[in-house]
Amino acid sequence: MILMTKGVTKRFGSTNALEDVSINIRPGEFHALVGENGAGKSTFIKILSGVYEADAGEIVWQGKPVAFSNPRQSRELGITVIHQDRHLIPSFTVMENVYLGMEYETLGLRINWKKMHDRVNRLMDELDIHIPQDIPAQFLSPPQMTQTEIIRAMMTEARLLILDEPTAALTNQEAAQLFDIIKKLQTRGTAVLYVSHRLEEIIALSDRISVLKNGRLMKTLERGVSKAEIISNMTDNFSAETGKGAHPVLGDFLLEVEDLSSADGTIGKVEFKVRSGEILGLFGLGGSGRTEILECIYGSRLKVGGNIRVGGTTYSNPSPYRSIQRGMAMVCEDRRGKALITNLSVKENIVVSVLDLYSRFGLVNDRAQERDTQEKMKSLSIKAVGCNQPVKELSGGNQQKVSFAKALMPSPQVILCDEPTQGVDVKTRHEIHSLLRNMADQGKAVIFVSSDIQETLELADRVQIIARGKSRECFENKQLSAEQVLSCCYVEQE
């Protein structure tokens, strides 16, 4: 075994984040770690990477007991973590990011840039990665960012690569490219500890799957296990939805978009309509303009052309403030960067967009804020110590629910959702799907973007294809197949 943990336990106050967890990982193995949000996956990773010290138990690395008091010690042994929120310096080039924390190559008293470039190039060729080394990280696509972190990890000959939700923001094609790179790493003997909520890829790729629940190891499953067995070990006999329910009752058009184009040129000639009671899925490949369309409609991205009508009334100059006033809400893909203020409490985040409703003569009605927050927390099953707990202390799934609660506080009629289930567990995903369907059943219009084609087919009443910043065919979701959708996405350059 390259790594063994024996009875690892970690407590935060009176809460057991991990209790008696014993997992072993073999050289070259693809070992998945699954569990609901809050099951202890992140805590386990942080112990292996030296961020936390275990309160009890033992870590054995290549046959020898080890103890980490900081991340550097873990990295020096050959353990590297690539987080969902990628740790790159935006203004640094690819090569400079690859060499972060490493000594530069020198020639006398000067930096030997050529030798550094050549070393990175050799590793890129070996892993079949092709990224210009001189481009700043801020201009990289999500898969290129992940690839850059993999290169950095292998510069120090990582023996265990821990990947935390690496495909959350990737399309199926981009994820397939990542998996090809992972297979090459496995042939070098590098073990992979893989955390993901996408059970289909877990089943397809894993040699073994360790399931955590409430901080305890439930079982380590062998290759060939079913999705149902994984879910039964993760949850309390929870069953995910198998498809859409009855046909929706449709009303008037609540959102109409005609010939929409953005100032930065990322989208143009976008058209679609959404009725009351309907869920419309916007689907396209990475870079197709899906997110940009929602941002243009909501007003967080400048539009230069086209018409928008909300509830039958022309909406000519969108801005986030005016959109809220018009009865529109936006649930952003980047919940930590754009939707939530993580240092503030659950209550402060939920009421931030409707503060004026709680103030009179310069005084804030804190009791009313707390009452309404508690109501939203109960209706969305937000797990927190209380409404005054900082959002940064919540699991990813509960943070996403807070983001929804904030968006729903003004009682919107049109809800724009960008990757609403990204990085959440199977149970939270089901809860979010039920929430979106319930909102549609209440007569609201829901427009959502997902990079997961199966999720789109599960939830949407219609699927609007977006390709190269333009709207293409719109399908009724009646016996619609993934092949039909994808064939429309791969349009030729006009």
> Checking phi first, is residue 392 left (phi over 0); if not, alpha (psi -120 to 50) or beta?
alpha
Helix locations, 253-339, DSSP H: 290-298, 320-325
Instruction: Give the SS3 label for residue 67.
Output: coil
**pLDDT top residue among 486 and 316:** 316
Q: Quote the CA–CA distance of 432 and 427 in Å, as a whole number.
A: 9
Q: Quote the CA–CA distance of 396 and 63 in Å, as a whole number.
A: 34
- Among 472, 478, 462, which residue's Cα sits nearest to residue 494? 472
Q: How does DSSP classify residue 224?
A: T
Reported confidence tier of residue 322, pLDDT bands at 50, 70, 90: very high
- Among 302, 321, 324, 332, which residue's Cα sits nearest to residue 419? 332
pLDDT at residue 492, rounded to an integer: 39
pLDDT at residue 424, rounded to an integer: 79
Q: Is residue 102 classed exposed, middle or buried when 0-12, 13-18 and 19+ CB atoms within 10 A define those classes?
A: exposed
**Both tokens assigned to 284:** 């396209």
Q: How does DSSP classify residue 392?
A: G
Q: Quote the CA–CA distance of 30 and 212 in Å, as a whole number.
A: 17
Q: Quote the CA–CA distance of 244 and 247 in Å, as a whole number.
A: 8
Q: Quote the CA–CA distance of 56 and 467 in Å, as a whole number.
A: 53
Q: Per-residue pLDDT tens for 144-178?
A: 888 898 888 888 778 999 998 888 667 777 788 88
Residue range 281-297: mean pLDDT, rounded? 88
pLDDT at residue 9, rounded to an integer: 95
Determine the topology of domain 253-327+412-489 in CATH. Answer: Rossmann fold (3.40.50)
What is the residue type of 180?
D
Q: Per-residue pLDDT tens for 52-106?
A: 999 999 999 999 999 888 888 898 899 988 887 678 899 999 999 999 888 888 9
Same topology between domain 3-234 and domain 253-327+412-489: yes
**Cα–Cα–Cα angle for 208, 212, 216, rounded to 5 degrees:** 125
CATH 3.40.50.300 fits 3-234, yes or no: yes
Q: Per-residue pLDDT tens for 103-119?
A: 888 988 899 999 999 99
Residue 365 CB contacts under 8 Å (≥ 6 apart), including other chains = 358, 359
User: Above 70 in pLDDT, residue 244?
Assistant: no
pLDDT at residue 83, rounded to an integer: 80
Q: Per-residue pLDDT tens for 246-277?
A: 667 889 999 999 999 998 888 988 999 999 99
Residue range 426-445: mean pLDDT, rounded? 90
User: Above 80 in pLDDT, residue 334?
Assistant: no
Q: Quote the CA–CA distance of 484 and 494 in Å, as a whole number.
A: 20
User: Above 50 in pLDDT, residue 367?
Assistant: yes
Q: Quote the CA–CA distance of 85 and 334 in Å, as a whole number.
A: 10
- 120-152 b/e with 16+ CB inside 10 Å = b? beebbeebebebebeeebeebebbbbbbbbbbb
Instruction: State percent of the chain over pLDDT 90.
Output: 49
| pLDDT averaged over every residue in the chain | 88
pLDDT at residue 158, rounded to an integer: 85
Rounded to two decimals, what is the model's pTM?
0.66
- CA distances in angstroms from 107 to 50, 100, 112, 199, 420, listed in the order given: 34, 19, 5, 49, 51
Q: Quote the CA–CA distance of 443 and 450 in Å, as a whole number.
A: 22
Q: Quote the CA–CA distance of 384 and 394 in Å, as a whole number.
A: 7
pLDDT at residue 493, rounded to an integer: 37
**Both tokens assigned to 325:** 């006033």
pLDDT at residue 323, rounded to an integer: 94
Q: Quote the CA–CA distance of 120 and 133 in Å, as a whole number.
A: 8
pLDDT at residue 100, rounded to an integer: 86
**pLDDT top residue among 173 and 27:** 27
Whether 84 contacts 333, CB under 8 Å:
no
pLDDT at residue 229, rounded to an integer: 86
- 377-407 b/e with 16+ CB inside 10 Å = b? beebebebeebebbbeebbbbbbbbbbbbbb
Instruction: Give the SS3 label for residue 111.
Output: strand
- Among 16, 394, 35, which residue's Cα sits nearest to residue 213? 35
Reported confidence tier of residue 494, pLDDT bands at 50, 70, 90: very low
Q: Quote the CA–CA distance of 118 and 139 in Å, as a whole number.
A: 22
* End-to-end alpha carbon distance in the chain: 54
Q: Per-residue pLDDT tens for 182-221?
A: 898 898 899 999 998 778 889 999 999 999 988 999 999 9
User: Above 60 in pLDDT, residue 241?
Assistant: no
Whether 180 contacts 10, CB under 8 Å:
no
pLDDT at residue 360, rounded to an integer: 82
Residue range 380-400: mean pLDDT, rounded? 88
Strand partners, 211: 34, 219
pLDDT at residue 269, rounded to an integer: 87
Domain ranges of the chain: 3-234, 253-327+412-489
User: Above 60 in pLDDT, residue 245?
Assistant: no
User: Above 80 in pLDDT, residue 285?
Assistant: no
- CA distances in angstroms from 368 to 197, 374, 381, listed in the order given: 36, 10, 20
User: Above 60 in pLDDT, residue 242?
Assistant: no
Reported confidence tier of residue 239, pLDDT bands at 50, 70, 90: low
Q: Which residue has the tokens 């973007």?
A: 449
Residue 207 CB contacts under 8 Å (≥ 6 apart), including other chains = 26, 29, 30, 31, 223
User: Above 50 in pLDDT, residue 359?
Assistant: yes
User: Above 60 in pLDDT, residue 329?
Assistant: yes
pLDDT at residue 293, rounded to an integer: 94
> What is the spatial order of strands in the sheet that 208-213 belongs to?
79-82, 160-164, 191-195, 30-34, 208-213, 216-222
